[in-house]
A and B are shown apart, each in its own frame.
Chain A
Amino acid sequence: MIEVIDLCKSFGQLEVLRHVNMRVAEGEVVCIIGPSGSGKSTLLRCLNLLEQPTGGEVIIDGVSLMDKKTNINEVRQKVGMVFQLFNLFPHKTALENITMGPIKVKRMSKQAAEELGRTLLAKVGLSDKADVYPHQLSGGQQQRVAIARALAMQPKVMLFDEPTSALDPEMVGEVLAVMKDLAREGMTMVVVTHEMGFAREVGDRVIFLDEGRIVEEGKPHEIFSQPREERTRAFLSKIL
């Protein structure tokens, strides 16, 4: 579903990603962990070209993102993204946030989009919040609306960029629960996270990134209980 080959990204002199190779199969849940500044978010953002890679190749569902002829807007419809700071549209209600993509991008009728929107709101447990504006919602609720907004485009892949980092602790659970449901339904997911519990429980694979390189990857229980690399051990000992 996702193939990353020799991906490099520099901001000026600063090399953020150094020759990253990664594959994500359909239905797989891959968690990317690592210290801050390791390039986790940048890697994720290269997968829908919110960051333009400096070198290498990214292939999503058979389509090369680095090919000049590729229409990135079409690829992005297949790749949903959830942001750390939710980035809901503050001038739109929860339902309008969800229906905007289908209506404007997919040219879906308003009625069909609203039906889809209400189904998705129900799925994230917010049926009663359809007509509420983002600022009237708690952080956890906002993030759940943001997940529903991304799902409204019926993507094949979902990218999560530290989706619970900006939340109060008591709201983390509700967002992770929604993500677990998604994973169970077979959604292909790439999750940048500090939630090791989630990575262990839901992840099919964990990738440890440090200084722009993949240091180690494997099944969650392998990485968490018997990390092979010293750096992985050092990182995990600090956070577990």
Chain B
Amino acid sequence: MSIFADADTRLVVQGITGKEGQFHARQCVEYGTKVVAGVTPGKGGQKMDAIPVFNSVAEAVSEAGANCSLIFVPPPFAADAIMEAADAGVDLIVTITEGIPVLDMMRVKHYLKTSSARLIGPNCPGIITPGEAKVGIMPGPIHKPGGPIGVVSRSGTLTYEVVYQLTLQDIGQTTCIGIGGDPVNGTNFIDCLAAFEADPDTRGVVMVGEIGGSAEEQAAEFIRQNMSKPVVGFIAGMTAPPGRRMGHAGAIISGGAGTAQGKVEALKAGGAHVCEDLGRLGELCAKVF
């Protein structure tokens, strides 16, 4: 079992003929993901390797049976691409694109309330259910299939570090999700925690947060009230100065809010096992799980 993506995921890659889209579509295929279609408006009828390219997501759904979209469209066109995917009826939309204007994402977020589609990202590495489907840009081989741990994170390479430490401890993963580093995103920590709590094969969760906003604090409250499974938490940015944007658009301490210290305290109060030294995260997980 897993959450959001599995062996039945049928992927369409939006922006498949671009450099990034092409490279990562191939990586997904190599991992074993069913990549059934690509979309590049104006290039319908062509093929990328053996993958048929369509002009619209609607065609990818009706002709190729796509139920999940992976978006590599550049920022000026990304909001359009996300809403097109939602209208076409895919269940899951994973947006890798970094640098989408905040106002665009605000509108998309409200628009998606009228749709049943789930958005992961933007500005994220995507989602992987090891051994079943990789919908994203993460390196496949560091993951260990079979569970029993779920991973959810706001970051990219930091997630890889965490997953790798789990794998070295011989702890497999059910599903690993990067929810993205932007201030406005689709799926949040709580969505993932709730799904992991409901997934019978997931026995515990590693949650990786960072400075900025209050998503971790809200997640901590959710953990306190709703999680029966153990959660190991890590927060990046204990040494981050206030008022500076730390790479991710959402990673900023403003007006004294959003500090790592505050998030660590909240997670502890929520009953999570907080790891304060990333170098020892794997050891802690081996103890807790």
Chain A complexes with chain B: no
